[in-house]
Amino acid sequence: MHAIRRFLAAIAVMTPALAISPASAALFDVYAFANSSGGGSGVATVTLTAGQAFSVSVDPNDLWSAGALPRWSNADGLVTSLLAAGSDDSGEAAGTLIGDDIFGAWTQDGFTTAFGKLVGVIGSSHIAIGTSFSGVAPESGVLLLYYWDSNFADNSEKITADVNAIPEPGAYLLVLAGLGALMFRRMTRNS
């Protein structure tokens, strides 16, 4: 009976530690030219299963361009006026208008969002990522990241996306069950 109590106490201590451990996290460079939805190929990131939680974040000061001024934006796309900081990727003097909502939205494959936005594609599902996204995979497959636009010929620069895939609860249960069985066996032998 004492071994069972020790086993249950050990499981209670291990459960919170397992629940906060991310399965995979990695940085991926997404290029406005090479990874354009208008002629490039997506950056393959992590493999997800339908319903699996994941997040993507990009520094809002990380910029890429759809061509001549004012076409600079962060991963949220060309949605607002953007002034150069003087030390950003545009190379323009501080205060220069480098980005603006000059194109509106772009529709491709039945999905519509702002030009220059970071977009994720899993199978046939599109996801507007931008500078910050947290949600679940709509279907199983590899998450591809794109610069969203119609013409990539004069695109330049890149952003860096931090992609985090959260393990499915079932994976934790399997690990927990395996560790629990080993501990129980050890404790009953020592009793």
- In this model, does residue 20 exceed pLDDT 50? no
> What are the structure tokens assigned to 126, written together?
């599109």
Distance in angstroms (rounded) separating the CA atoms of residues 121 and 132:
15
CA dist 176 and 130 (Å) reads 35
Q: For 120-146, write each residue's pLDDT tens digit.
A: 999 999 999 999 999 999 999 999 999
Q: Mean pLDDT over residues 1-9, rounded?
A: 55
Cα 44 to Cα 135: distance, rounded to the nearest angstrom: 18
Q: How far is CA 15 from CA 6, 97, 172, 174, in A?
A: 14, 52, 9, 12
Name the more confident of 14 and 46: 46
User: What are 65-82's pLDDT values in tens digits?
Assistant: 999 999 999 999 999 999
Indicate the pLDDT class of residue 107, thresholds 50, 70 and 90: very high
pTM: 0.78
Position 25 scores a pLDDT of: 87
3-state secondary structure of 3: helix
Q: Which amino acid is at 47?
A: T
Q: What pLDDT digit, counting tens, does each position of 35-68 carry?
A: 999 999 999 999 999 999 999 999 999 999 999 9
